[in-house]
């Protein structure tokens, strides 16, 4: 029974993307770091960024994980910057030999690295050095036409070290706490989509194999929404979670109400009973 469900998901996604292809802003995320590819560190940054970017009404289309190799990162940045409206990088910013993001992004746009005076002063204070060739000064060298952003709103506290961007590429540190702080400070400046996603969900006591025909009907009758079906193994409260999502609140509501009307009541888990694991 898995094959029809795969077809269902692909149909739903294809219809959804085709419906909004001309209006929705897109983003790609590039996670940089050998430690991710070695399995030494768990990547939580891409999940956080995807959730936050989606809240801004921007659709994340692809996530890529790349090692600390300058030309490989540069090539990925080049590709992403032409395919998506926004490109977010995570990792590879710091004073050590494997922090290569600025160099790679500069290479992607044929931009040499230059010593930025504002960043020079910041690095001098933080690393207690005036030697422009010292490791502590590495973060002061950025692509020639890169821009600095300390904060988006006048009501926010400026960051000690600003976000650096070049064209449609926004570079963030890999340390999750620093990434979150930096992203929250500048996201309003970068992601200005007028769109917002509206989603409703329901949990079921039965496996998805019992509801395929219902889902197919909802998908075919509501091409403007995306229907998601997410099985859960070994959960004592539900077996599958269904979601209905679109860029229009009324469309989401109508499709969800149709779904609920088609589902037998005994299949549905009552609201408030679910505890995600």
Lowest mean pLDDT segment, chosen from 17-21, 183-187, 253-257: 17-21
Q: Encoding tokens for residue 20?
A: 């909004």
Q: What is the per-residue pLDDT for 6? A: 46
Compare 260 and 1 and report the one with higher pLDDT: 260
Q: What is the per-residue pLDDT for 42? A: 96
25-190 CATH: 3.40.980.10
**pLDDT tens digits for range 146-195:** 999 997 766 567 788 999 999 999 999 999 999 999 999 999 999 988 89
Compare 4 and 199 and report the one with higher pLDDT: 199
Q: What is the per-residue pLDDT for 156? A: 64
- For CATH 3.30.70.2860, list the domain ranges present in the chain: 198-267
Q: Is 139 left (phi over 0), alpha (psi -120 to 50) or beta?
A: alpha
**pLDDT tens digits for range 106-161:** 999 999 999 999 999 999 999 998 999 999 999 999 999 999 999 776 656 778 89
Q: What is the pLDDT of the chain when averaged over all its residues?
A: 90
| pLDDT surpassing 70 at residue 8 | no
Compare 160 and 8 and report the one with higher pLDDT: 160
Lowest mean pLDDT segment, chosen from 98-102, 154-158, 252-256: 154-158
Q: What is the pTM of this model?
A: 0.86
Lowest mean pLDDT segment, chosen from 48-57, 126-135, 150-159, 199-208: 150-159
Q: What is the per-residue pLDDT for 217? A: 95
- For CATH 3.40.980.10, list the domain ranges present in the chain: 25-190
CATH topology of domain 198-267: Alpha-Beta Plaits (3.30.70)
């Amino acid at each position: 029974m898995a094959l029809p469900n795969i077809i269902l998901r692909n149909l739903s996604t294809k219809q959804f993307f085709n419906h909004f292809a001309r209006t929705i802003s897109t983003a790609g995320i590039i996670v940089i770091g050998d430690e991710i590819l070695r399995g030494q560190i768990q990547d939580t940054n891409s999940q956080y960024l995807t959730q936050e970017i989606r809240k801004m009404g921007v659709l994340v289309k692809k996530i890529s994980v790349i090692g600390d190799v300058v030309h490989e990162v540069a090539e990925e940045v080049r590709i992403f910057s032409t395919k998506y409206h926004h490109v977010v990088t995570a990792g590879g910013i710091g004073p050590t030999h494997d922090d290569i993001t600025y160099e790679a992004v500069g290479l992607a746009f044929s931009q040499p690295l230059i010593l930025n005076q504002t960043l020079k002063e910041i690095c001098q204070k933080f690393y207690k050095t005036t030697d422009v060739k010292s490791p502590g000064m590495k973060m002061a060298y950025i692509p020639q036409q890169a821009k600095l952003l300390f904060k988006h709103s006048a009501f926010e506290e400026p960051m000690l070290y600003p976000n650096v961007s070049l064209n449609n590429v926004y570079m963030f540190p890999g340390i999750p706490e620093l990434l979150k702080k930096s992203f929250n400070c500048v996201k309003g400046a970068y992601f200005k989509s007028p769109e917002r996603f509206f989603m409703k969900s329901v949990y079921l006591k039965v496996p998805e194999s019992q509801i395929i025909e219902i889902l197919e009907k909802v998908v075919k009758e509501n091409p403007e929404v995306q229907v998601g079906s997410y099985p859960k193994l070994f959960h004592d409260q539900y077996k599958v979670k269904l979601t209905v999502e679109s860029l229009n609140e009324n469309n989401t509501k109508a499709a969800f109400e149709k779904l609920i009307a088609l589902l037998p009541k005994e299949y549905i888990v009552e609201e408030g009973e679910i505890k995600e694991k």
